[in-house]
Amino acid sequence: MAADRQSQELPTDKQSAEEPRGLARILRIAGPGVITGGADNDPAGIATYSTIGASTGFGQLWLLLVSTPLLIAVQGTAARLGDVTKLGLAELIRSQFGRKIAFPVALLAVVANIATIGADLVAMAAVLQLLTHVKLLYFIVPLIVVMGYITIFQDFKTVEKLMLWLVVVFLTYVVAGFLSHPDWGKVLTSTVIPPITPSISYFTGAVALLGTTITPYLFYWQTAAEREERRGVEQMSDTYTDIASGMVFSNLIAYFIIISTASTLYLHHKSVQTAADAARALQPFAGHFATIIFSIGILGSGLLAIPVLSISTGYIVSGTLGWRMGLGRQAYTAPGFYTVIALAMLAGVELAITGINPIKALFYSQVLDGLIAPIIVALMVVLASRKALMGVYVSSRWEKIGGWAGVLVLTLADCALLYSIVTGGG
């Protein structure tokens, strides 16, 4: 049976010989996995990484190394669920665990998504204000109109192509990292030897980092996007190459964001609260060019992440309530799905233009993601292990190990944060 499954998942030697390899193969099959990796570094995530770099230096780089294989395993499990069942994650949770579990999980995920959309919008508008000296409020509505039009009125393939082009923008952070002239010896040491500091700020940052890296909305996106992509179990090898490439790229970019802010802002005791703050603060230490490319990265990340956040919110609500959904459908055939997408964007606008503190919404949305992520990952691992649901395509041993390891790491980080709060750690 295992041999049968392997033969269905992996290409034959003849097929492998005929197919492109290396970067050419990655470019050929780039899709939901690469988009997931790009969307993982949204403006809220960039602000979180920037805040962590400015406040703890290189102290949490090791978490990115640890989280990379876990992230691949978790997103691989999400993709497997979509490829095999042809259902979204919210649908699977509702049908397999019941509404008593599905509704609270969906509610928390939607709240975190909307808070993140609002924070992302403010971050994008603030960067445009930094570059143009025009008040950020004038940019919020035009930004959401453009993204709303593309998301709601274009088909999946068009949206996917635009998102894949936006992923390239993240390479600007690699350039910013080198412009900051880091101490590479300290960078490498901190990456492999965890310099843990027992304090509330350290553990809050760790939970936020893990929450913005192993992110619930991306589980929903990945599962549903696999169905939209129409990749079945016979293409699972391509799926995993796509996912692994996206996750490695995602954490590599996060790595350089932390390096760039730790090498400049942390050393000069400059605190930041937003991604725009980080872009502005880099200028005295890394030059005006670093500020510009950091800003371009924020804009590109928002144009990619806000549609993914909105779409995943549509998948979450529609799947939980049993509505028709999918970017492959016209709006009139899935009105609930597209209405939720529009309302999620409008709610984000409301958060962005009201007196709600976008900085707190941004950071604590990531903490909320970190708190609910282990629950959702645990549900995914259980689902992917059910033979009645998955047949011969139940999750592999490494996926199970990686999935449960992800649950353990996220839970330990959450417990460490709660313990620090209760005991009044510094």
Asked whether residue 5 carries a pLDDT value surpassing 50, the answer given is: no
Instruction: Kindly report, residue by residue over 277-331, the tens digit of the pLDDT.
Output: 777 766 665 667 777 877 888 888 888 888 889 999 999 999 999 999 888 788 7
Instruction: Kindly report, residue by residue over 286-300, the tens digit of the pLDDT.
Output: 667 777 877 888 888
Output 197 or 347, whichever has higher pLDDT.
Answer: 347
Give dist(CA 292, CA 171) in Å, integer: 13
Asked whether residue 136 carries a pLDDT value surpassing 50, the answer given is: yes
Asked whether residue 38 carries a pLDDT value surpassing 80, the answer given is: no
100 touches 320 (CB < 8 A): no
Asked whether residue 26 carries a pLDDT value surpassing 60, the answer given is: no
pLDDT at 280: 73
Output 387 or 354, whichever has higher pLDDT.
Answer: 387
For the whole model, what pTM was predicted? 0.80
CA dist 102 → 112, 222, 223, 257, 316 (Å): 16, 18, 16, 35, 9
Give the range among 5-19, 93-107, 141-155, 188-202 with minimum mean pLDDT: 5-19
Give dist(CA 242, CA 37) in Å, integer: 10
Contacts of 265 (CB under 8 A, 6+ apart): 50, 53, 54, 271, 272, 278, 281, 282, 285
Asked whether residue 238 carries a pLDDT value surpassing 70, the answer given is: yes
Percent of the chain with pLDDT over 70: 82
pLDDT at 90: 93
Please give the backbone phi and psi of residue 115, each rounded to the nearest 5 degrees, phi first: -60, -40
Instruction: Kindly report, residue by residue over 146-157, the tens digit of the pLDDT.
Output: 888 888 877 767
Mean pLDDT of 84-112: 92
pLDDT at 13: 40
Give dist(CA 317, CA 330) in Å, integer: 18
pLDDT at 273: 67
376 touches 220 (CB < 8 A): no
Asked whether residue 1 carries a pLDDT value surpassing 50, the answer given is: no
pLDDT at 187: 92
